[in-house]
Structure 1
Amino acid sequence: MRALSAKVSSLLAEAYDALDPNGNITIKWDVLQWTPDGYVAVVTMYNFQKYRRIQSPGWTLGWTWAKKEVIWSMLGAQTTEQGDCSKFKGNVPHCCQKNPAVVDLLPGTPYNQQIAHCCKGGVMSSWAQDPANAVSSFQVSVGAAGTTNKTVRVPKNITLKAPGPGYTCGPVKIVRPTVFLSADKRRFTQALSKFLPQLFSE
């Protein structure tokens, strides 16, 4: 099992904060299970900037699929457009766009559409000020994708848009998979694959 990682650097010089020169936003993409035509992943963002919060209207996370992937379903977030899914009959994907743009769901979202750390309208506190609210997550079920570590392809051109200066993503790298501790703290499991973008203020 493996994990994937990417470094992301700030797109605009105005993002630089002299009081927090190493502040970053880290995005963790954990593949939790394989499906007949792809995988299910949990994407988690950590705002490790000391002072810069992401304020309303919140973050928008985007990327370009490496192949012809589609998003079958999501929890805790949604794409802003479905795209052209006309070739699918019966079970229609949530999104067929080559370059999906994902936004957080709003507070008050029904529980069956939520996961942990979602549904805050894309608003994130900074880690130094409020670490419990400096995390945002969503789950995505990806189809028409690889179904093993050898055949899965990581998204390209990862971007994060938020109020203020924007960000852009660097090369994706393979890193160790995340290890999870069960709620009763008696069992460890690990992701099947992971990549980890970091967005640095410059």
Structure 2
Amino acid sequence: GVDTETGEVLEDHTENFGNESNSPAQATAPAPELTVVATMPLRHRVLAQYIGEGEYLYHVDASQKKEILRLEMDTDNSYVQNLLLAAENVEAFKKAIEHDIHKIVNAVKKVFPVDGKTPELATVIQFLKTWFETEHIDRGLLVKEWAKGNRVSAIQRTESGANAGGGNKTDRNPDYEHTLDTLDVEIAMATLPMDFNIYELPGSVYRRAKEIVKKKESPFKEWSAA
């Protein structure tokens, strides 16, 4: 176009989608057919984020849609089938927004690596429910605990907000042997003023607790006697 006041020739900013072509190449390259993920059925929304390899997919093209349909029909892929069935069995998942679906699908892949052992359906459902019940700020910690094999049902925090470990039934390492000596050390640790993660015990905390036991410091000696 031309500016009527200055006579200056203006650049044309309209995009050419192949309707009017200046070259034969453009004529044979129609605009890609994109589908907005949020408009798709739940199973396809889950698979869209699954094939995104960690990247949030707002829309998918024809080839990605083909891959989604292929995965949905692949009954031999028990990992994908369990993920889809679990998603359909967790109410919070069915109501989730796209960004949460993206986060939870990637969390599942971190906890249960795709190239590892396929998790049982009940385990995937348990993880999905726990993830949605966990505060946003604690979801990263939850994923770390599960990835380590600690099937915690919650991330508990102390009054100061420090991570106090999970609410799992087997609260400690299965190899951890409970004796009167280890009980004394645990009592001593309970008397310490600082917060720490019981799953990743700092060496300094453990050494201080052992010292308290050895010297029979107060209030440990009264607690231990009880």
- Scaled by the length of structure 1, the TM-score of the pair is 0.18
Q: Which structure exhibits the higher relative contact order, with contacts defined as CA atoms closer than 8 Å and separated by 6 or more residues?
A: 1
- Scaled by the length of structure 2, the TM-score of the pair is 0.16
Q: Which has the higher helix share?
A: 2
Q: Which has the higher strand share?
A: 1
